[in-house]
Structure 1
Amino acid sequence: MEIKNKPEMDESFRDSIGTVTQKGERIWIFPKKPKGKFYNARTIVSAILLLLFYGLPFVKVNGNPLILLNVLQRKIILFGIPFGPHDFHIFVIAMIIGIISIFLFTV
C-alpha cells in the first residue's frame, strides 16, 4: 500500500545540536520547578513513606522489630515474624504468587 500526499520533511534540525549556537556557545537550559496538586500529593506521599520506612524498625511486636533485614546473620523479620534461611521457599512461593497475581489482574 502506497502512502499518497506524503509531506516533505525538513530535516535541517539534524545538522546541529539543540543546546549549542551557531558560534559554538552553549545555550543554557533552566528547568522550571514542578507545581500542582499531583506534585504536592507526591511530595506528601513520599514524606509519609520515608517516615514509615525509617520508623517501622523501631516498632516492636512480640519483642521483635516490625521489620528487620539482617543479611550478615541471615535473619529476616517481617511484621514481627522471624524468618531464617530455611524459610526461603515460603518467600519464593509468595513472590511467585504475587507476580502471577499482578499479571492476571492487570493485563
Structure 2
Amino acid sequence: MGREDLCGAMSRGRHTNRAFVVVDQGDPDCLPGHAPSSGREVLEQVLASSHAEPSATETSDTYHPGRAAPIVPPVRPQQPWNPWPPQPTPHPLTAPPPSYADGPVLGR
C-alpha cells in the first residue's frame, strides 16, 4: 500500500476513521527483508512508499538530465467570436401551454 491509498482510505469515514495494522509474523521465505515489529513501523513503511505516477517534468528530468526546460510560448489574446453583444429575443421560443379552468382534458 502506498501513502496515496492510505490517505484515500482514511478519508472515507463519516464520523471516525480507524486504521487496523496487522503485525503478525508471516512466512520468512515469502517476506523480503525483515518483518515489521510494530504497527508504527508498518505505517512508516506505508508513508515512505508512493504509487503516484511521476509528472511529465519529473519524467523529462529523469530521462534527459541537464536539458533546459522547453520554452513556453506567450499567450496570444483571443478575439471574440461575435463583435456584437448578445441581444434578448423579443418573444419566447415556444408558446406557453393553454390553461383550462378544470385542468387539461385527455383525449382532445
TMscore range, shorter length: under 0.3
The structure, 1 or 2, with the larger RCO (C-alpha pairs under 8 Å, 6+ apart) is 2
Q: TM-score, normalised by structure 2?
A: 0.16
User: Of the two, which has the highest radius of gyration?
Assistant: 2
The alignment's TM-score, normalised by the length of structure 1, stands at 0.16
Greater strand share, structure number? 1
